Structure 1
Amino acid sequence: MRLDRRNFLRLSALGGGALALGPGFWKEAYAAPAQPGPSPYGAMSGSPDANGVRLPAGFTSRIIARSGRVVGTTGYTWHSAPDGGACFALSTGGWVYTSNSELSSGGGASAVRFDGGGAIVGAYRILSNTRSNCAGGPTPWGTWLSCEEYSGGRVWECDPTKASQGVVRGALGTFAHEAVAVDPDGQRLYLTEDTTSGRFYRFTPSAWPSLAAGTLQAAKVTGDPLAGTATLSWVNCSASSPASSQSSVASQTTVFSGGEGCWYDSGVVYFTTKGDNRVWAHTPATGKLEVIYDDNLYSGSPLTGVDNVTVSRSGDLFVAEDGGNMEICIITPGPNRVVSPFIKLEGHSASEICGPAFSPDGRRLYFSSQRGTSGLSSGGITFEVSGPFR
């Protein structure tokens, strides 16, 4: 019997953890990485809809914005290269979807406003005069953190509710920022860095929830995250340069190659790394770190080019692909995690899927194809998918 690399890694992850810690630990504290299986929403349609989206039964799509074109009847022209995004509830019963622009010059971020029925009622700019705005993250106090992805990149805090200009938050570091997640329970922020020498960071504000000052740290991994035995410790670093360029910090911390999406939900920080095509889960309360998806563990794993991530009301992870076959895949929670395709864009092979985010009621999923069917930054398309999300 031939044991290939995928099966060797899978058996090592499963067997090593169980033998070292016993079956009691396995049941109580550790779930195996996700393996391919059926989607809770069933199979995607065999052909795309009129918008080029393959969907499960009961779901529909609409295009809400195209780069270079006016959004609905708002008069506002949508930005090129749409990237990371998030949704924010409004007191009026409507909501706002924010979207970054990953242009190397004239990036920034915009927003689309919806009324309580989902109709578009406004669109406007919330950040200007920045560059390479890739992903970011929402805060519990209702602001959008827009991250610049280049060596001198910083984080900008924006008001998504009106036309405005963001405020730079230099204490959150100067590096190729990808995404940020806010843990309101631990009162900390977690950040990813999209370089081959990237680190995983956390930021502790001096006076929560102000982001004007605080302590920035980079992570060190101890133990095996595939076997469920890993924990994180933290090393203080300067906010003026990447941790990898600070020699005393670089030698004490762990490389997370190509850090991408980052999202907090119910006591867990989820993040992705494209260098090894993994999805990670960190539990701040215990320090635990585990790999919940690795495409090398199981033959036929559908998720490649891991990128932005969000979590639905049911606790399902939705992970967008940068390239791959242009799918958003779902990873189900629980001890028997399953990964499966949820939707697929046809004709977008030279693009990437960005900015997945749920409306406040959990019934609509927003995301963008950064370069659309043209493969150009000016061809970006922003979608909405509606349906019976569990």
Structure 2
Amino acid sequence: MERRNFLRVAVVGGAAAAFGGASWGTAFAATAQPGPSPYGALQAADANGIRLPAGFTSRVIARTGQKVAGTNYTWHAAPDGGACFADGTGWIYVSNSEVSSTGGVGAVKFNSTGQITGAYRTLSNTNVNCAGGATPWNTWLSCEEVSNGRVFETDPWGVNPAVARPAMGIFKHEACAADADHGYIYLTEDVSDGCFYRFRPNTWGNLSSGTLQVMVGSNSQTSGSVTWANVPDPDGSPTATRNQVSGAKRFNGGEGCYYAAGTCWFTTKGDNRVWAYNANNSTISLTYDDSLVTSGTAPLTGVDNVTRTSSGDLFVAEDGGNMEICIITPAGVVAPFLRISGQSSSEITGPAFSPNGKRLYFSSQRGTTGSSSGGITYEVTGPFRS
């Protein structure tokens, strides 16, 4: 986890004020503040070492190097970004493998009761597959987090072969999010002077060709209007994509990315921020910044993967920190939702909800061992807000 080693000073109009009773649509100028979780306090750790609110339970779905229960698939190393896809009355959870050369994507199938019915590989022998994003046409975009990284479009059912999508740019990819409302795929870049991108396919649903753009704005800008400019050479050679457009706005270590209801939320680990891009009016704002917490200790550190519930709650996983998934409510409250005990050398990855919103999947990438061979993937069930 990269963190700045100097005091950050941010100037954001009204940023120190909590959202109060505002909804996301009217709260773009404020940053979330600590408060009571709508789920209540964390209880003692369960048998899996997870502290959860009352009424929630956890189970282990898979462990690196072991066969997924009832299947012949050996769960991959360093499980990272993930997503769920509806499969009849059941669903599929896909998970990246963030290792060099032998990375890729694995999948687990569940029936309507949550029983595991299959597991298999959907992408093999790619490089440091970190996060990604789901598409509205039911494919998983798996992103390589290396300087010449590509986006691979994969089939969660494992029927169609995975396909590289170089038109989406060659750079150190992290995550992406599909915006069907406006016809874009947003992309984050995991370097300290990275950029925030969007890709418009020539035909929505076909990622083989299109236009890659980069956000343009002041590097110190934390709110207000931004613009976009075409990236001349998405292949990133000989000039990196982030250095091709004058005035491209820099973000310190782009991580998770999630789009819903006109907004794309994305995280930057170098300054511990959760950003909101309003796609309807092309403005940015801060949803959370640990340096703008006005009282007590910032509950969310090491921001990483992010997902969202139908009720509008953001769930943000920590890379390090105290191994929590924190909730940020539409009312501007940030609080721990769960904490993994005894795994301080790991990070939480791949949070994703089942299609019915009743189950949350995620991984501890290095588990209790602190090694990529120690990954553990979990499921949490309980009364999530709908």
Q: Normalising to structure 2: TM-score of the pair?
A: 0.91
User: Within 5 A, what are the aligned runs for 1:362-381?
Assistant: 362-381=357-376
Structure 2 Cα separation of the partners of residues 260 and 68 of structure 1: 26
2:86 corresponds to 1:89: yes
Using the TM superposition, give the Cα deviation of residue 275 of structure 1 relative to its aligned residue in structure 2, in angstroms.
1.0
Using the TM superposition, give the Cα deviation of residue 311 of structure 1 relative to its aligned residue in structure 2, in angstroms.
0.2
SS of equivalent to 2:292:
coil
Corresponding residue for residue 150 of structure 1: 146
- Alpha carbons of 1:71 and 1:247: their partners in 2 closer, same or farther (altered >3 Å)? closer
Structure 2 Cα separation of the partners of residues 251 and 158 of structure 1: 34
Using the TM superposition, give the Cα deviation of residue 209 of structure 1 relative to its aligned residue in structure 2, in angstroms.
1.4
Q: Which runs of 5+ in 2 are unaligned?
A: 1-6, 18-23
The C-alpha deviation readout for 1:181-238, integer Å capped at 9, x for no partner, is 0000101100000011211000010111100000001111259754x43434334332
User: Within 5 A, what are the aligned runs for 1:13-32?
Assistant: 13-15=12-14, 28=26, 30-32=28-30
How much is the aligned-residue C-alpha RMSD, in angstroms?
Answer: 2.2
Give the total of aligned pairs: 371
Corresponding residue for residue 196 of structure 2: 200
Corresponding residue for residue 169 of structure 2: 173
User: Within 5 A, what are the aligned runs for 1:34-183?
Assistant: 34-45=32-43, 47-91=44-88, 93-162=89-158, 165-183=161-179
Task: State whether residues 237 and 243 of structure 1, in contact with CA within 8 Å, keep that contact through their aligned partners in structure 2.
Answer: no
User: Within 5 A, what are the aligned runs for 1:278-357?
Assistant: 278-298=273-293, 299=295, 300-334=297-331, 337-357=332-352
SS of equivalent to 1:341:
strand
Structure 2 Cα separation of the partners of residues 244 and 303 of structure 1: 35
SS of equivalent to 1:340:
strand
The one-letter code sitting in structure 2 at the alignment partner of 1:37 is G
SS of equivalent to 2:226:
strand
SS of equivalent to 1:351:
coil
Using the TM superposition, give the Cα deviation of residue 331 of structure 1 relative to its aligned residue in structure 2, in angstroms.
0.4
Using the TM superposition, give the Cα deviation of residue 96 of structure 1 relative to its aligned residue in structure 2, in angstroms.
0.1
The one-letter code sitting in structure 2 at the alignment partner of 1:42 is G
Task: State whether residues 217 and 227 of structure 2, in contact with CA within 8 Å, keep that contact through their aligned partners in structure 1.
Answer: yes
Structure 2 Cα separation of the partners of residues 198 and 231 of structure 1: 16
Structure 1 Cα separation of the partners of residues 185 and 238 of structure 2: 16
Task: State whether residues 187 and 209 of structure 1, in contact with CA within 8 Å, keep that contact through their aligned partners in structure 2.
Answer: no
2:258 corresponds to 1:260: no
Task: State whether residues 225 and 284 of structure 2, in contact with CA within 8 Å, keep that contact through their aligned partners in structure 1.
Answer: yes
Corresponding residue for residue 180 of structure 2: 184
Q: 2:213 aligns with which of 211, 214, 217?
A: 217
Q: Percent identity?
A: 58
Q: Normalising to structure 1: TM-score of the pair?
A: 0.90
- Alpha carbons of 1:28 and 1:82: their partners in 2 closer, same or farther (altered >3 Å)? closer
The C-alpha deviation readout for 1:102-145, integer Å capped at 9, x for no partner, is 01120000000000110000000000121100000000000000
- Alpha carbons of 1:320 and 1:243: their partners in 2 closer, same or farther (altered >3 Å)? farther
Structure 2 Cα separation of the partners of residues 27 and 202 of structure 1: 22
The C-alpha deviation readout for 1:341-389, integer Å capped at 9, x for no partner, is 1000001100000000000000000000000000010100000000000
SS of equivalent to 1:123:
strand
Corresponding residue for residue 383 of structure 1: 378
Corresponding residue for residue 23 of structure 1: none
Which of 247-256 and 132-141 deviates more?
Answer: 247-256
Structure 2 Cα separation of the partners of residues 149 and 27 of structure 1: 32
- Alpha carbons of 1:243 and 1:118: their partners in 2 closer, same or farther (altered >3 Å)? farther
Task: State whether residues 219 and 249 of structure 2, in contact with CA within 8 Å, keep that contact through their aligned partners in structure 1.
Answer: no
Using the TM superposition, give the Cα deviation of residue 321 of structure 1 relative to its aligned residue in structure 2, in angstroms.
0.3
Structure 2 Cα separation of the partners of residues 174 and 195 of structure 1: 13
The one-letter code sitting in structure 2 at the alignment partner of 1:350 is S
Using the TM superposition, give the Cα deviation of residue 76 of structure 1 relative to its aligned residue in structure 2, in angstroms.
1.0
Q: Which runs of 5+ in 1 are unaligned?
A: 19-25
Structure 1 Cα separation of the partners of residues 73 and 159 of structure 2: 11
The one-letter code sitting in structure 1 at the alignment partner of 2:170 is T
Structure 2 Cα separation of the partners of residues 78 and 305 of structure 1: 26
Moved over 6 A (4+): none
Task: State whether residues 223 and 229 of structure 1, in contact with CA within 8 Å, keep that contact through their aligned partners in structure 2.
Answer: no
